[in-house]
Amino acid sequence: MKIEVYNDWDHVPKAQTSGEDNLVLTWDGEYRRGDVIEFSDLTPGEFYVVRIDATMAEALVFITKDAVRYPIPFFEKKASYDPVSFFGNRHYISIRYAFDFEVSRYRNLAVNAFDQHEVEGVYPHASANVETRGESVFAARNAIDGIIATRSHGEWPYQSWGINQQDDAEITLDFGREVDIDQIILYTRADFPHDNWWTNGTFTFSDGTSETVEMEKKSGQPHIFHIERRGITWIKLGKLIKADDPSPFPALTQIEVYGTEAE
């Protein structure tokens, strides 16, 4: 495996390291616009544990490519991250093969702080048919980053998936392989009176089934649904029904999906 930090315009490495199965790259210097972290010489179809920055949680991810590029977020794209992430003159990046017990245990299969629009072949991955004004603080990835702060909206830690007042808004969570699930938890944003809320929504699954659920009214508490599916590869949440409230702004702070790898 190999980790490199370079600028996309010249590809001259600022820092790099390589090894067999457990890499840590520390380097001194500042990130600049156009910088990329690249993980290469990976084994497609394996689970890895990645930490992209010392301020961010490790991510247990399933990778289907032999190389993954992670563009460093700057300016508006940085607003959904901790202000000290990717900041300063000393940095810490790591990747290792996941242990079998980490992969096989019962866990939140949705969480992935490593997710980005630009990152391909890394799962779980969140995408949507709309994100408010294309702003990073309302991107689909925010709904699986592990940060649950529902009482406001906007910059970190209040980032969320925003639907730009679109009635047909849908968010898709792709696992990249088959999983078995038994519980889904939604944290809807609760910045009242700025926010509206959803009373109903429908989960659609890769096996062709669907299930409509009712949500707690005007609540910042988790909405817990005991839903069992086996061997699914993705979940879509859509057909979202807003409450009869003057605000046009419902949003999703986090989705958690609990289960195991498919038997």
Query: Each residue's pLDDT tens digit in the chain (263 positions)?
Result: 999 999 998 999 999 999 988 999 999 999 999 999 999 999 999 999 999 999 999 999 999 999 999 999 999 999 999 999 999 999 999 999 999 999 999 999 999 999 998 888 999 999 999 999 999 999 999 999 999 999 999 999 999 999 999 999 999 999 999 999 999 999 999 999 999 999 999 999 999 999 999 998 888 899 999 999 999 999 999 999 999 999 999 999 999 999 999 98
User: What is the C-alpha separation between 230 and 210, in angstroms, rounded?
Assistant: 13
CA–CA separation, 213 and 218 (whole Å): 15
* Omega before 157 within 30 of 0, i.e. cis: yes
Q: Are the CB atoms for 111 and 41 separated by under 8 Å?
A: no
Q: Compute the distance between CA of residue 132 and CA of residue 171 in angstroms, rounded to an integer.
A: 13
Tell me the residue length of the chain.
263
**pLDDT value at position 53?**
98
Q: Which two tokens stand for residue 85?
A: 């992430």
Helix, strand, coil percentages in the chain from 3-state DSSP, rounded to 5: 10, 45, 45
Does residue 174 contact residue 123 with C-beta atoms inside 8 Å? yes
Provide the CATH number for the domain formed by 122-261 in this structure. 2.60.120.260
The pLDDT, as a whole number, for residue 245 is 92
**How many angstroms separate the CA atoms of 139 and 73, rounded?**
13
pLDDT of res. 220: 84
Nearest to 242 by CA among 203, 207, 181, 195: 195
Rounded CA separation 157/115 (Å): 16
CB-based contacts of 175, cutoff 8 Å, min separation 6: 62, 109, 123, 124, 232, 233, 234
Distances (CA, A) of 183 to 17, 172, 180, 230: 40, 16, 10, 12
Identity at 12, one-letter amino acid code: V
Which of 150, 154, 106 has the alpha carbon at shortest distance from 263?
Answer: 106
Predicted TM-score (pTM) of the model is 0.95
Which of 40, 76, 28, 36 has the alpha carbon at shortest distance from 52? 36
**Which residues lie closer than 8 Å to 144 by C-beta, 6 or more apart?**
110, 111, 112, 115, 124, 126, 173, 254, 255
